[in-house]
Amino acid sequence: MEEVVVFVTIILSAGIAAGTPILYGALGEIFAERSGILNLGVEGMMLTGALAGIVASLATGSVWIGALSGMVAGGVLSLIHAFISITLRGDQVVSGLALTIFGAGLTAFLGFPYVNVPAPKFAPVSIPLLEHIPLLGPVLFQHDLTVYVCFVLVPVAWFWINKTRQGLHLRAVGENPAAADALGVSVVRTRYVYTVVGGVLGGLGGASLSLAYTPGWIENMTAGWGWIAVGLVIFAAWDPWRAAFGAYLFGAISRVVFDVQMLPTAGLPQLAKVLLSPEFLRMMPYAAVILILVSASREVVRRRIGAPAALGTAYTREEAEG
């Protein structure tokens, strides 16, 4: 029984640690999409934030400056996306994909000198007294500060979106920008602000990856986690609490996949060997994201799952008045 408790503790604790970078990206995407802006550039923003965090922390010796630099880097990319999508009224899907490709290429080029270079990192900080609670202590209260910040950010994001006047404006712009505009809410400003907030959080997610979860830099180190964050938003129905559950679940599954690789498969049927192969198990979450995104592209599905009605739609006051 004790071995089972230890195993569960390890899986849950690892799930929270692995899920934190994804959750930052997902929370940022929730803010952006709630305003009506679809951002498929999360992967690029996380990569850029991860590299910026490493470069700044190596230059200054401070992980805090590294994290701040990651946030700025993600914010700059999201500002480009906002300009294309809001001011120029460009295609949001194309803009987001372009930024993901740009971020991957830019970080591969600029990050080459930093590959596997030891860098400062956020050290685990155990919370006194709480760390000794059976099961919950090791699972929740023996992490680095980026994890604890995310713990706080989830309820704050939920409260902001659902219980504040600013959150009401955000939801109104995402559902019916013309009506929000008629009531005096600036659609352009709201969309700009929350798109940039989304990029800042995505950059922080990347920085938490390179400065905490897997300290250091390697090319394409996010490995598609930005796409997981995008799919997670739809899975969570744009709710921060559900996004947290999904992110930590993905993290736990990732740890289980790692452990399954150690299991002997000799003597098992061929189908079982395929299903237990690390390649197949690692593929499944990404296949699920593809299915989620394809399903969410259908209007009837979007209405059923509660997607913001104006998501992905450009808005101008002239068209609304016409």
The CB-side HSE value for 300 (13 A sphere, CA atoms) comes to 0
CB contact at 8 A, 209 and 221 = yes
CB contact at 8 A, 206 and 47 = yes
Over its C-alpha atoms, the chain yields an Rg (Å, rounded) of: 20
Q: Which two tokens stand for residue 77?
A: 């990319």
Residue 207 forms part of a structural domain: yes
Tell me the pLDDT of the chain (322 aa) as tens digits: 677 778 788 889 999 999 999 999 999 999 999 999 999 999 999 999 999 999 999 999 999 999 999 999 999 999 999 999 999 999 999 999 999 999 999 999 999 999 989 989 999 999 998 888 888 899 999 999 999 999 999 999 999 999 999 999 999 999 999 999 999 999 999 999 999 999 999 999 999 999 999 999 999 999 899 999 999 998 899 999 999 999 998 888 888 877 766 666 666 677 666 666 767 777 777 777 777 767 666 666 666 777 898 999 998 875 555 4
Residue 11 forms part of a structural domain: no
Residue 314 forms part of a structural domain: yes
Which of helix, strand or coil describes residue 115? strand
CATH number at residue 285: 1.10.3470
Residue 158 forms part of a structural domain: yes
Give the model's pLDDT for residue 308.
92
Residue 8 forms part of a structural domain: no
Rounded distance between C-alpha atoms, residue 315 and residue 177, angstroms = 7
Q: Find the angle CA(208)-CA(38)-CA(156) to the nearest 5 degrees.
A: 50
Number of domains in the chain: 1
Q: Which two tokens stand for residue 299?
A: 């209007």
Give the model's pLDDT for residue 24.
98
- The residue range of the domain holding 296 is 17-321
Give the model's pLDDT for residue 5.
79
Rounded distance between C-alpha atoms, residue 21 and residue 202, angstroms = 8
Give the model's pLDDT for residue 253.
85
CB contact at 8 A, 90 and 312 = no
CB contact at 8 A, 17 and 182 = no
Q: Tell me: the pLDDT tens digits for 121-154?
A: 999 999 998 888 888 899 999 999 999 999 999 9
Residue 173 forms part of a structural domain: yes
Residue 271 forms part of a structural domain: yes
Rounded distance between C-alpha atoms, residue 251 and residue 17, angstroms = 7
For CA atoms 258, 260, 264, 268, give the dihedral sign: negative
Give the model's pLDDT for residue 275.
67
Residue 10 forms part of a structural domain: no
